[in-house]
Amino acid sequence: MKNCRLLFTALLLSVPVISFAQDPSKVIAMENAWNQAELHNDAAAVELLLTDDFVMTVAEGTTLNKSQVLASVRDKSYNPDVLQSENMAVHMYSNTAIVTGDYREKGTEKGRPWSRQGRFTDMWIYSNGHWQCAASHFSVKPK
């Protein structure tokens, strides 16, 4: 009986944290913050959004780690004009959120214009009071 009371008390004390962690609007805000940070080549902001062991799988099938993603954001030859996520759906699982959606990007890289759109899936982890993205995958919509 005492163990049940301890468990019940622990559950009650964890409700506010779980409630905050399970608020999909917080995860959507993180997705939008990531877009804004990349739009302004703000690698310091992107760094805060990604776990240390972050991995991104790009449309061509290769993977990038956190350092590689940050280097690409810092690269001033990469000049996005539009980075927009739409139709996002958040699937909550305790301290994990899976976000799926559409994206569209447009800009110049090394002086050449580019544009692409497609689908993405991001996995966010809620730990130590904040959300960070642990994995990302995107595909390009065929033209």
pLDDT attached to residue 71: 96
Q: How far apart are CA 116 and CA 143, in angstroms?
A: 9
Q: How far apart are CA 92 and CA 130, in angstroms?
A: 15
Q: How far apart are CA 134 and CA 86, in angstroms?
A: 20
Q: 2-140 adopts what CATH topology? A: Nuclear Transport Factor 2; Chain: A, (3.10.450)
- Domain limits, the chain: 2-140
**What's the pTM?**
0.82
Judge residue 125's burial from the number of C-beta atoms within 10 Å of its C-beta, 0-12 exposed, 13-18 middle, 19 or more buried. middle
From first to last of its 143 residues, the chain has per-residue pLDDT tens of 444 344 334 433 444 444 555 789 999 999 999 999 999 999 999 999 999 999 999 999 999 999 999 999 999 888 899 999 999 999 999 899 999 999 999 999 889 999 999 999 999 999 999 999 999 999 998 76
Report the amino acid identity of residue 137.
H
pLDDT attached to residue 78: 83
